[in-house]
């Protein structure tokens, strides 16, 4: 009787053990199948495909880096970790290395492009600028690529630098330098600017035997060949301003006066006249470029005043008494 009960107890124990192990294995298999995935093959695949495939499996994509490859096209996967076929849990990282393309490329055609666009193409192909030369040539826009070295279609290594020849626009017009001798400074400057030349330095030289306030010398000389935007310097027969203003006042008893010419395109004649003790004295008389500013010392005497002329016309305020001019000091 006891032996029969013992046998039944052993059989029950064995059944319970087998049932428990079976249940555990089944649950483990179910849980494992839900939390793990098999890593797909990504090598040679486009990076967009790899990203979508890994995202669909619940895995994270980590780009480990990029490098050149003669076998794997640009923007395709070169290597991956873990290896394809590995079982990993969802939410884990898959590290990939992306191809930058072949180490050599065919030189792109840059001719006819603006230099800024050419620079973008060079950067995209991992090329750099070497020497950039420019030349004036008709029918070519400024900053347009005229020629390149290496030429279009030649196989070159990445990182290689490219020489470019860039257009500077059409050649400047050339003509004879006009004669400024004997002209007043304002007429000389107008002639310079209407011929698309640039006013340079204006100096004064006093010769009592020559008429006052006329051009007596110029550079370049009259008749020389010049091009647009050439700088022209000239000398005016005029007593230096320092001589005109000497002994007018003591600088220790003076104010600092500033005046700015309005913006524009042509130079203008500015004349500042000081009325002192009933006597008018020009303390400044010269041609001023647009937006240029003059700075003068003015006597502090409150009963005197100054007049400001632009191209011989009095500008506002018509009269500036010193007691008003310096009231804010």
CATH assignment of the domain containing 257: 2.60.40.2560
Give the closest residue to 238 by CA, choosing from 285, 295, 308, 178: 285
Give the closest residue to 218 by CA, choosing from 191, 239, 242, 241: 191
**Residue 95's domain is classified under what CATH number?**
3.30.10.20
pLDDT confidence of residue 15: 63
Together in a domain, 159 and 179: no
Residue 244 is inside which H or E element, if any? helix 241-245
Together in a domain, 98 and 45: yes
Give the closest residue to 73 by CA, choosing from 49, 108, 109: 49
Together in a domain, 157 and 227: no
Instruction: Give the number of C-alpha atoms closer than 13 A to the C-alpha of residue 83, restricted to the C-beta side.
Output: 1
Together in a domain, 180 and 136: no
Neighbours of 122 (CB within 10 A): 19
What domain range includes position 3? 1-32
Together in a domain, 83 and 112: no
Together in a domain, 257 and 216: no
pLDDT confidence of residue 310: 86
Together in a domain, 73 and 120: no
Query: For the chain, which ranges sit under pLDDT 70?
Result: 1-13, 15, 17-34, 240-256, 265, 277-278, 297, 299-304, 316-329
Give the dihedral of Cα atoms 326, 327, 328, 329; nearest 10 deg: 60
Together in a domain, 258 and 281: yes
Together in a domain, 186 and 255: no
Of 83, 102, 121, which residue constitutes the final position of a domain?
A: 102
Beta bridge partners, 96, equal: 63, 80
Number of domains, the chain: 5
pLDDT confidence of residue 162: 92
Together in a domain, 257 and 308: yes
Start-to-end CA span in the chain (Å): 130
Q: Is 35 helix (H, G, I), strand (E, B) or coil?
A: helix
Contact of 131 with 163, CB cutoff 8 Å:
yes
Beta strand segments in 238-317, E: 254-260, 268-276, 279-288, 293-299, 305-310, 313-314
Of 77, 102, 127, which residue constitutes the final position of a domain?
A: 102
Together in a domain, 227 and 293: no
Q: Is the pTM of this model over 0.85?
A: no
Kindly report, residue by residue over 272-292, the tens digit of the pLDDT: 887 776 677 777 888 888 878
Together in a domain, 290 and 315: yes
pLDDT confidence of residue 326: 43
């Amino acid at each position: 009787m006891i032996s029969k009960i013992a046998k039944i107890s052993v059989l029950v124990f064995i059944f319970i053990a087998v049932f428990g192990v079976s249940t555990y294995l089944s649950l483990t298999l179910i849980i494992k199948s839900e939390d793990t995935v098999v890593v797909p093959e990504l090598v040679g695949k486009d990076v967009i495909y790899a990203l979508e495939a890994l995202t669909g499996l619940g895995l994270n994509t980590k780009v480990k880096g990029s490098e050149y490859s003669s076998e794997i096209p640009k923007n395709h996967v070169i290597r991956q970790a873990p290896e394809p076929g590995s079982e990993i849990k969802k939410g884990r990282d898959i590290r990939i290395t992306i191809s930058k393309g072949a180490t050599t490329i065919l030189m792109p055609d840059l001719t006819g492009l603006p230099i800024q666009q050419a620079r973008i193409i060079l950067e995209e192909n991992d090329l750099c600028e070497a020497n950039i030369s420019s030349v004036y040539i008709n029918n070519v826009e400024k900053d347009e690529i005229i020629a390149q070295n290496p030429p279009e279609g030649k196989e070159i290594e990445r990182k290689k630098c490219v020489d470019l020849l860039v257009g500077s626009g059409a050649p400047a017009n050339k003509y004879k330098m006009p004669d400024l001798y004997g002209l007043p400074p304002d007429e000389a400057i107008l002639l310079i600017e209407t011929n698309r030349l640039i006013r340079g330095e204006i100096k004064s030289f006093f010769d009592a035997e020559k008429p006052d306030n006329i051009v007596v010398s110029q550079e370049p000389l009259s008749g020389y060949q010049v091009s647009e935007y050439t700088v022209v310097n000239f000398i005016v027969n005029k007593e230096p301003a320092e001589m005109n203003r000497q002994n007018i006042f003591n600088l220790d008893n003076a104010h600092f006066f500033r005046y700015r010419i309005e913006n524009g395109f042509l130079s203008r004649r500015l004349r500042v006249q000081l009325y002192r003790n009933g006597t008018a004295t020009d303390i400044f008389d010269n041609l001023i470029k647009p937006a240029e500013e003059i700075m003068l010392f003015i006597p502090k005497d409150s009963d005197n005043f100054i007049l400001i002329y632009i191209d011989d016309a009095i500008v506002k305020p018509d009269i500036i008494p010193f007691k008003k001019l310096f009231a804010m000091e």
